[in-house]
Amino acid sequence: MALELLTVLLSIVAVVSVLLVLGTILCIDRGQLRELRADLRTRLRLAAPAIGLLVVVLVINSLTRRTAQRLSWLIGFEITDQIYRLEGAFVAWVQTFQTTELTVYFSAVYVYGYVFLLVFPLLAYFALSEQRSLHELTVAYTANYAIGLVCYLLFVAYGPRNLGIAEQFMYDVYPSSRLLTSAVNTPTNVFPSLHTSLSVTVLLFAWRTREAYPRWLAIAAVLATSVVISTMYLGIHWLTDVIAGIGLASASYWIGVHGADRWRELVTGALPRITTTFRSRP
């Protein structure tokens, strides 16, 4: 199983790498890439506080996933029945439009397109001489994951496919994707939809940076919309999860735009004190 999972991960890396190259060719100016190479160290230093915060949250999220699931059963609210009573068979209705072509498309978008959608803007904003957009986006990503983790602790909810009211189309097309989803997700972590929240967050920032990357706005709009639809078409999320994800994206966008400078100032101010403390030790 470990070998199969590794094969799946390598296929994602390969496909996303190709997409990143294509995205770079389409959206990023060669002059920007030359400036990036010349100014790489400075930009890495400036980006470190926000990227470091994101990495810490991702590591915590990964290490505590199973423990958090057990804890959520103790302190969380079971809301699956409430969601079903609220929206009924909406997801099942979405699946009535199923075709082989749509299933292949939405499955590919959910697995490969989603990763590309999240990674490419980091590269694109890193290529900008002004690094503010990169800092804002990274803080927004962090907010998505941090708030999402809290929501998963507080709300226990199974997706439509787990209740048997929706088909699991993706596993018919990409059987190996089951290994990936089981490795990175738990069945009760559906409210809100992080696929939705992160995709919409990217789209909001694509709109914010549309003058710098007009082509990326068009690509992000298509991909983000496709990811959102795929979560329901594939029976993974409820409409309620998607709406909550859009709300989380809006909140995270606001936190990113208004909190990036404060976080950088906090870290920049703390580093000299930490360095002085270590140097003063005998």
Among the listed ranges 36-40, 63-67, 98-102, which one has the minimum average pLDDT value?
63-67
194 in any annotated domain: yes
Residues 105, 111, 114, 117, CA torsion sign:
negative
Does residue 280 lie in a domain region?
no
Greater confidence, 271 or 150?
150
Whether residue 281 is contained in a domain is answered as no
List pLDDT tens digits, range 38-64: 888 888 888 888 888 889 888 888 777
Higher pLDDT, residue 81 or 275:
81
Percent of the chain with pLDDT over 70: 89
- Please give the pLDDT value at position 261: 74
What is the tally of structural domains in the chain?
1
Q: Please, what is the average pLDDT of the chain?
A: 86
Q: What is the pLDDT of residues 153-178, one digit of tens each?
A: 999 988 888 877 888 888 888 777 77
Q: Is residue 21 part of a domain?
A: yes
Backbone angles phi, psi at 89, to 5 degrees: -100, 35
- Classify residue 279: in a domain, yes or no: no
φ, ψ of residue 124 in degrees (nearest 5): -65, -45
Q: Which span out of 27-41, 57-71, 141-155 was modeled with the highest average pLDDT?
A: 141-155
With respect to residue 30, please indicate whether it lies within any of the assigned structural domains.
yes
Flag whether pLDDT at 138 surpasses 60. yes
Who contacts 136 (Cβ-Cβ below 8 Å, separation ≥6)?
205, 256, 257, 260
Contact (Cβ atoms closer than 8 angstroms) between residue 155 and residue 76: yes
Query: Distance (Å, rounded) from C-alpha 237 to C-alpha 195?
Result: 10
Q: Is residue 282 part of a domain?
A: no
Range of the domain at 19: 2-272
Largest Cα separation within the chain, whole Å, is 71
In this structure, is residue 204 part of a structural domain?
Answer: yes
Stronger pLDDT, 179 or 173, i.e. the higher one? 173
Confidence of residue 273 (pLDDT cuts 50, 70, 90): very low
Over residues 114-130, the mean pLDDT reads 94
222-247 confidence digits (pLDDT tens) = 999 999 999 999 999 999 999 999 99
- DSSP assignment string, the chain: -HHHHHHHHHHHHHHHHHHHHHHHHHHS-HHHHHHHHHTHHHHHHHHHHHHHHHHHHHHHHHHTHHHHHHHHHHHSEE-HHHHHHHHTTHHHHHGGG--HHHHHHHHHIIIIIHHHHHHHHHHHHHTSSS-HHHHHHHHHHHHHHHHHHHHHHHEE---HHHHTSS--HHHHH-TTHHHHHHHH--TT--SS-HHHHHHHHHHHHHHHTTTT-HHHHHHHHHHHHHHHHHHHHTTSS-HHHHHHHHHHHHHHHHHHHHHHHHHHHHHHHHHHHHHHHHHH--
